[in-house]
Amino acid sequence: MRTSLKHVPALSERAGVPVYLKLESEQPTGAFKLRGAWNFMRQLPPAVRDRGVITYSSGNHGQAVAFAARRVGARAVVVMPETVSAVKIEGVERWGGEVMFAGTTSEDRYVRAMELADEQGLTPVPPFEHPHIIAGQGTVGLEIVEELPGVAHVTVPVGGGGLIAGITTAVKALNPNVRITAVEPENAAALGAALAAGRPVRLAETSSIADGLLPLSVGTLTFEHVKGHVEAVTVADSAIAAATVWLHEEQGELVEPSGAATTAALRAGAFEPAGPTVLVVSGGNVDPSLIAGLADT
């Protein structure tokens, strides 16, 4: 589904250039992940779809896979962390997904999902490390350039790297001069580490209120799409929390902390806008009580 590009005068005044939000929170499942999951599902042969699919997710990818599977009449199993929020569990179940739990890290979920895939003949749907997923996420970039031909700068929240890989590939193909900035939590800067090392590296641990940005490493394939084309900045959890509250109270946008990371980076001065700038808001699956709690801190 095409999503809105919203001009935000308050951010434009702060930045000195026009600033827009790309609201992936408007997707039926509340996040950009639907684009990649739907593209992946459409590529599967009917006989493979009929056996069912499985994925491992902190929430948004799981909801996207459940939605896409339901649309084609397939079974979907989603392995989620034991610490996942109720709103994300409900989101998966709303679209007919079967929820199972495994540990607290992306590695815990991956291992359990692969076990279940082997046991039950299910096809794994990777959250970011697959060409079909990256291509689907790239439609965000196509829409940005189509709606804002003069865009000079796009900022993207980064977890495993599927979204920024797709956006970078699409945007750079249409306009190589557009600057792309990755935004990561201070304690989950996997892409920054990869760019410094020249290859993906595995972090010992990650932590942030932005629970969708916590993979221990970016993907090998996603890194190949972005190396040499992007820069990475980090932002503190306090800034992410403040941006989440600001987007809700001042802009009327219900945005999860992961989706608020780009707004947080701009407000915190983590990067200097290069011209008309788009802040990708990756998702809005958040319990309003969390935002109320952030506002009280």
What CATH number should be reported for the domain holding residue 10? 3.40.50.1100
- Number of residues that this document lists for the chain: 297
The pTM of the whole model exceeds 0.85: yes
Q: Last residue of a domain, which of 87, 106, 128?
A: 128
Measured CA distances, 87 to 2, 58, 244, 285, 295 (Å): 24, 11, 17, 7, 19
Two tokens, residue 86: 């109720």
Q: Which residues pair with 123 in a beta bridge?
A: 53
- Report the pLDDT averaged over residues 65-88: 92
- Report the pLDDT averaged over residues 176-192: 97
139 & 272 share domain? yes
Number of H helices, E strands in the chain: 14, 10
280 & 168 share domain? yes
Q: Is the pLDDT of residue 295 over 80?
A: no
CA distance 243 to 260: 6
Residue 240 belongs to domain spanning: 5-31+132-296
Q: Last residue of a domain, which of 87, 113, 128?
A: 128
- Confidence category of residue 249, pLDDT binned at 50, 70, 90: very high
CA distance 187 to 173: 32
Q: CB of 44 within 8 A of CB of 123?
A: yes
109 & 176 share domain? no
Domain count, the chain: 2
- Confidence category of residue 296, pLDDT binned at 50, 70, 90: low
